[in-house]
Structure 1
Amino acid sequence: MDILRPVLTCPRPDLVAVYEAALHNLLDVNTIGGIIRAGGGYPAPWTRDASINAWYAASLLSPDAARDTLLAVTGETLVQQDDQWWDQIIWAVAAWNHVVVTGDEDFLARAYPIAAATMEVLDKERLDGRYGLYRGGAVMQDGISGYPEPPNDPGIESSFVLDYPRAHSIMCLSTNAVYAGAHRALARMAAALGADGRPHLARADATRAAVNRWLWREDAGLYGYFLSEDGRLDPHQEALGLAMAILFGVADERRAALIAANTHREPRGVVNVWPHFDRYGPGRPGRHNAICWPMVMGVWGDAMARSGHANRFHETLDDLIGLFGGDGLSEVYNAITGLPDGGWQQGRQWPSEPDQTWSATTMLGLVHHGLFGIRLTPEGMRFSPMMPAHWRDAALNGLRYRDMTLRITVSGGGTTVRSVRLDGREVDLVPATLTGHHDVRLTLG
């Protein structure tokens, strides 16, 4: 399939420039031989990167490459079994999203057995029966700089989290939110194939209940970072975990509102983990600690949009435009200066790798799912936009969705949709079965 690039028009030239740079990053720089690599410093896809990149943009913009990249990180029967097992089940979330976006039934038939078999292994090996939570590190936190002491141990020199024995038994917010989302994705895949999804739904509900029982901090209006094996809750703020708790339905509306109100932001954006661990600080930020990873910020912004917190969504969008405007799309940025900064870990400052793919894909997701409010279901496309109140017009022209190409025009600002017109007719849904070119016009106000 030829890749048609959507064209964004809006009152902000800086946003248009960043959007075009993100498209270039995904479609030109990091798609090589039909596979989407993790970034300029990472030639392989990696399971979590492949999943996040497909989920946030590639399944919509480059469905063939998204499919092939997702399959590239699997074996015949399981998601690839490497040494970063703790968040590999995020693949199930991306796989179901790919089916929803593309309608690819052949992929569904192949993906469900792989995801279900992988979950069966993880349920047996990683689920802690005492707490009903899954053990292992936090999503994308493969470096020990992302953890306090313990599980950090000053006597160990390695940067890799699983070289620290106590990291194997912690139960992290982001990872357990992903498990809840993955179980729901498996339930939907099963139902689409005519199988019984109820066991997956029951497991999702149990994980949600366990997170809310063991990780919620009512005094702070936030979830804690992780539960130790002895039942102690670490109080640090994990931005990706807080976002995923909202996105995967772990946090109810009340908790989501408290998270939006209470999550700390540094001058250049929401950071991975707050506050600084004792061994780091503002002049020496930890690589996975109080530092700005655009992917984390993008997922956070998505959670703010989907939970209706417009001010925090627009704040994050502005933060990312500010980071990317003078640089391109790097991997990590300093939370004070806004400059590329790989952070400190094990006695040295690491590089911030260039052309990081998930920096691009989550940014694209904020435009598609945040500003324009695109909501995809197996039946088609709906809208829940979050435009700045003072905007009058914005458009995405040439957005390919399944077998159709759309021009989506939004008139007015804010979040209240007065009408959606498809080729001049008022509708509730753009059906997934359409073909050819179509005009979609949203009126807000």
Structure 2
Amino acid sequence: MMSIFSSLMLALTAGAHAPLWHDNLHWRGQNASMQVQPGGGFLLQAAHAKRTIPVPPYAVQTASPLFDGLYAMAQDDLRQDSVTAIHDAAYDHDQPIPCTCFETGDKWHYVWTRDLSYAVDLGLWRFDAARSRSGLRFKLSDSRVPGTPKGPFAIQDTGSGGSWPVSTDRVAWFLAARHLLDDAAFADTTWQALTATLAQDRQYAFDAGMGLYRGETSFLDWREQSYPAWMADDVVPIAQSYALSTNVLHYQALQLAAQMAEQRHDARAADYRAQAEALKAAINARFWREDRGMYMSYLGGDGAPYDTYDLLGLALAITSGVADTERARQSLANYPVWPAGSPVIWPERTDQPIYHNRAIWPFVSAYALRAARQLDDPAHIAFEITSIMRGAALAGSNMENYELTTQAVHVNDGTLSGPVVDSPRQLWSVAGYLAMVSEGVFGLEADGRIAPKLPVSLVPMLFGNRDTISLQLPGRRITLQRPKKLAGNLLVTDRIEQHGNDSVVQLKGIKAAELSLRSTVPPFAPSAPAAPQVTRNGADWQVRATAPGVLYLNGQRVGAITGTLAVPVANALQCFSLTQTGAAGLESLQSPPQCEGPVASVEGAWPRTWTAPAAGRYQVALSYRNDHGPINTGITTAVKMLAIRCAGSPEQRVPVVMPHSTGEQLSTTAQFSADAGARCRFALEQGFNMSYLAGNAHYTGEAGGVGGPLNEADVGALRIVPLAAETAP
């Protein structure tokens, strides 16, 4: 690992300068060159292969044949991704399914909700609106189970522990749909799906105590890469946790719901608006980490802060308006970069191969570019543009991802080699490249406005000796005119003249407040420690750590620990966990918790009864086993509703989630209140999972598909523990 660390540190000191890429570029001993061919096509000599690029439907004309040819290549990649049938081994036994869709890439021939949604949001709707709508419709489904709520619902694809609600980022669907509402029928479908999906997520994934939605980080769904290693075989803590990216997606979906409700004079508009504002406030209260000047990637189910960050979550927080200007600028300035580009997670993991870990993903870089544009930051705008260009040129396609320090499609590093998977013409990477050109260089906004924010450092590459550069898009053309005298560090609009479909933008230079590129950070987080050793000594718990770190109790920071620390015993649940501290005060991911406290275990047939020994709040969970699929995939997370009727109190209803398991374990937890001596009756009612969707009748990979819906687990004891007063919401 020291060799990797040394390599990273060397890369950090390499620096990055404004490129002069006209017909070629050179990077770390690799070359790429572009030649214009007779008739208007291009020939790319990538680092390790040649590619002939046909004449594109829509041309860009700059001083750089490399820039122009790569735009043509992205369109050729998009042409190859445009199909009339899709297939995947887990659906219809890999037989073709008719769909006028975008497939996901050269190695991925299906349509996945998050991939398509981010790709369309990045601009594919401009190039083929009909195909974008068709693909999005394919990712909607009604329920096939009588007596359950009707949709349509956005589909959460197969995933950790059996899919939703372990993963809850299916609401990314609405990021894409919002661009295509000019079609009345599609707008009506979107409204129906939006209200149904939000209602379902509110019922099963929203935690009113935290004010946040639960679920896995969006896109970062290979849990070993970014979550603690001890969660690899137990995804309940992920289902119980809260992710920045997924909560920002819900915020944007709620905003869209409020907007569409207002347009329809629907009384729910005020509720959606209030929910969105409350969620925004909760995100800012819970995820912001003042000492890092960034929003954390995720929180534990008990609210524990994790000293880990992801670029997509930060970019979405900025572009959505969740982050105010000051926090947005801090987040972008404090998130680290490497000369090749921005990593999708930081800090990296020493024990994981290259994929999300130690990697650049071009579509995420495109969202970071969008965030940099929102903040008028020339340094990050130029940095992300050149990173996206370089990767595509060297690889000869818009790849799924790249190794962080070399921007190579594969690096040999023993068991850590990778990227583990790297598909050419990956759809969201293609979309990211097209967005880099249309938004990043030519300033085309989602609403059709033109607002270039072009770093002066890129003028030599793009303009050379030219006075103008131009971009052709479906139905319009944008021409940028350079100012006679370059000044400042950012070119913005001086005036716009309209000549038919050609918008001619006269640029002017301004001096923008530039954010520095942070490139001197520890690359790796320290390893997570083992669970603390907890023993009772009279009125205290003796909590022992094997390495210096930080002790947490019920998600709250207790303080530094360098051996043994005494914590008073409480007549309530006390869960202890540790982090290890490393360079620059970085904390590791959390250790497994060690929980102590009085436990009531209620067995027998349902409904079950229990008497509260004292007034207060209690935590409830189920012992269960769910062997209906592997830990990493499937659609059969068991989702139930626990109805709790305690004497003297209204009925309390709480969702309980039981993902796929490798043995007997505890479900997600929920809280309820009871008076002293109250007799409580617990009834377990049916919930909803992704196997209920009619679209998953095509699923042949595991249980719950072609054989019919399945939402069951082997349920054992009901576990009840008292909560300390301060942990109550």
TM-score interval (norm. to shorter)? 0.7 to 0.9
Match of 2:498 among 382, 399, 422: 422
Match of 2:261 among 167, 180, 190: 190
Paired amino acid for 2:453 = M
SS at match of 1:383: coil
SS at match of 1:233: coil
Match of 1:117 among 184, 188, 196: 196
Structure 1 residues 290, 201: CA separation in 2 closer, same or farther (over 3 Å shift)? farther
Are residues 1:410 and 2:480 paired? yes
Distance in 1, Cα, partners of 2:421 & 2:140: 29
Distance in 2, Cα, partners of 1:151 & 1:176: 24
Distance in 1, Cα, partners of 2:477 & 2:246: 37
Are residues 1:310 and 2:378 paired? yes
- The equivalent of 1:7 in structure 2 is 59
Distance in 2, Cα, partners of 1:259 & 1:276: 18
Are residues 1:134 and 2:209 paired? no
Are residues 1:442 and 2:505 paired? yes
Distance in 2, Cα, partners of 1:29 & 1:239: 29
Match of 2:75 among 23, 31, 38: 23
Structure 1 residues 415, 351: CA separation in 2 closer, same or farther (over 3 Å shift)? same
Structure 1 residues 256, 179: CA separation in 2 closer, same or farther (over 3 Å shift)? same
Distance in 1, Cα, partners of 2:246 & 2:201: 12
- The equivalent of 1:239 in structure 2 is 311
Q: Per-residue CA shift, 1:31-56, capped at 9, x if unaligned?
A: 10120111111111111111112111
Distance in 2, Cα, partners of 1:342 & 1:247: 33
Larger mean Cα displacement after TM superposition, 217-226 or 339-348: 339-348
Structure 1 residues 187, 301: CA separation in 2 closer, same or farther (over 3 Å shift)? same
Structure 1 residues 164, 387: CA separation in 2 closer, same or farther (over 3 Å shift)? same
Q: Per-residue CA shift, 1:348-371, capped at 9, x if unaligned?
A: 752212220100101111221222
- The equivalent of 1:230 in structure 2 is 302
Q: Does the 8 A contact of 2:478 with 2:504 survive in 1?
A: yes
Distance in 2, Cα, partners of 1:343 & 1:209: 44
Are residues 1:67 and 2:133 paired? yes
Give the alignment's Cα RMSD to 1 decimal.
2.1
SS at match of 2:108: coil
Structure 1 residues 11, 149: CA separation in 2 closer, same or farther (over 3 Å shift)? same
Shift of 1:150: 5.6
SS at match of 1:177: helix
Distance in 2, Cα, partners of 1:6 & 1:364: 11
Distance in 1, Cα, partners of 2:265 & 2:442: 33
Structure 1 residues 146, 98: CA separation in 2 closer, same or farther (over 3 Å shift)? farther
Instruction: Flag structure 2 segments of 5+ consecutive residues without an equivalent.
Output: 1-55, 85-99, 143-151, 484-489, 509-729
Paired amino acid for 2:507 = L
Structure 1 residues 184, 407: CA separation in 2 closer, same or farther (over 3 Å shift)? same
Q: How many residues of Structure 1 are paired with residues of Structure 2 in the alignment? A: 405
Paired amino acid for 1:18 = L
- The equivalent of 2:652 in structure 1 is none
Distance in 1, Cα, partners of 2:76 & 2:301: 45
- The equivalent of 1:395 in structure 2 is 470
- The equivalent of 1:90 in structure 2 is 172
SS at match of 1:416: strand
Distance in 1, Cα, partners of 2:301 & 2:350: 22
Are residues 1:149 and 2:220 paired? no
Distance in 2, Cα, partners of 1:393 & 1:179: 41
Distance in 2, Cα, partners of 1:192 & 1:133: 27
Instruction: Give the number of the structure whose alpha-carbon radius of gyration is greater.
Output: 2
Aligned pairs for 1:164-203 (under 5 A) are 164-196=235-267, 197-203=269-275
Paired amino acid for 1:22 = A
Shift of 1:396: 1.1
Q: Does the 8 A contact of 2:105 with 2:426 survive in 1?
A: yes
Paired amino acid for 1:29 = Q
Distance in 2, Cα, partners of 1:120 & 1:288: 31
Shift of 1:20: 1.2
Larger mean Cα displacement after TM superposition, 347-356 or 250-259: 347-356
Structure 1 residues 345, 194: CA separation in 2 closer, same or farther (over 3 Å shift)? farther
Structure 1 residues 344, 297: CA separation in 2 closer, same or farther (over 3 Å shift)? farther
Scaled by the length of structure 2, the TM-score of the pair is 0.53
Paired amino acid for 2:480 = V
Structure 1 residues 345, 362: CA separation in 2 closer, same or farther (over 3 Å shift)? farther
SS at match of 1:440: strand
Are residues 1:329 and 2:411 paired? no
Q: Per-residue CA shift, 1:218-261, capped at 9, x if unaligned?
A: 11111111110122111112111000001111101001111121
Q: Per-residue CA shift, 1:289-323, capped at 9, x if unaligned?
A: 22111111111111111222121011011011111
Higher strand share: 2
Distance in 1, Cα, partners of 2:221 & 2:413: 14
Larger mean Cα displacement after TM superposition, 169-178 or 388-397: 388-397
Q: Per-residue CA shift, 1:376-413, capped at 9, x if unaligned?
A: 43xxx21211223234422112x22xxxx212111026
Shift of 1:81: 4.7
Match of 1:79 among 148, 154, 165: 154
Q: Does the 8 A contact of 1:297 with 1:316 survive in 2?
A: yes
- The equivalent of 1:301 in structure 2 is 369
Distance in 2, Cα, partners of 1:225 & 1:302: 19
Distance in 1, Cα, partners of 2:382 & 2:265: 41
- The equivalent of 1:160 in structure 2 is none
Q: Does the 8 A contact of 1:408 with 1:440 survive in 2?
A: yes
Structure 1 residues 256, 44: CA separation in 2 closer, same or farther (over 3 Å shift)? same
SS at match of 1:420: strand
Shift of 1:347: 7.4
- The equivalent of 1:369 in structure 2 is 439
Larger mean Cα displacement after TM superposition, 191-200 or 327-336: 191-200
- The equivalent of 1:292 in structure 2 is 360
SS at match of 1:270: coil
Q: Does the 8 A contact of 1:70 with 1:91 survive in 2?
A: yes
Shift of 1:194: 3.5
Scaled by the length of structure 1, the TM-score of the pair is 0.86
Paired amino acid for 2:468 = D
Distance in 2, Cα, partners of 1:127 & 1:346: 39
Distance in 1, Cα, partners of 2:477 & 2:258: 33
Are residues 1:359 and 2:429 paired? yes
Higher helix share: 1
Structure 1 residues 341, 347: CA separation in 2 closer, same or farther (over 3 Å shift)? closer
Structure 1 residues 31, 315: CA separation in 2 closer, same or farther (over 3 Å shift)? same
Distance in 1, Cα, partners of 2:230 & 2:316: 23
Shift of 1:175: 1.0
